[in-house]
Amino acid sequence: MSDVVKQISDADFKSVVLESNLPVVIDFWAPWCGPCRMLSPMVEELAEEYAGQVVFVKMNTDENPATPGQFGIMSIPTLLFFKDGELVGKSIGLKQKLALKGLIDDLL
């Protein structure tokens, strides 16, 4: 994992995501999930493209069940989009990079 996408846990979700001054994209994933592994390089690329504008984080759903449960995450990969501590968007499953850019641009 690169330095631009930070791994977070249930314990630091509030401080990293809800209290962020920048919009946040959180990638819910698990190591055994093929589509998650396919999405990961795109998330890394987007994090580099939007560096300084949007915070990108990942959460392993196997190790951190509370936050995915709180937001009703039933399948992975799921991306949640937060702005000013509020959930403003969701993307479920593997998407094209251009579609994800559109969702991120809506955050800004």
Catalytic residues: 33, 36
Q: Report the alpha-carbon distance of residue 43 to residue 57 in Å, rounded.
A: 9
Is the CB of residue 61 less than 8 Å from the CB of residue 36? no
Phi/psi for 23 (5° steps) reads -60, 150
Question: Cα separations (Å) of 41 from 57, 94, 96?
Answer: 13, 12, 12
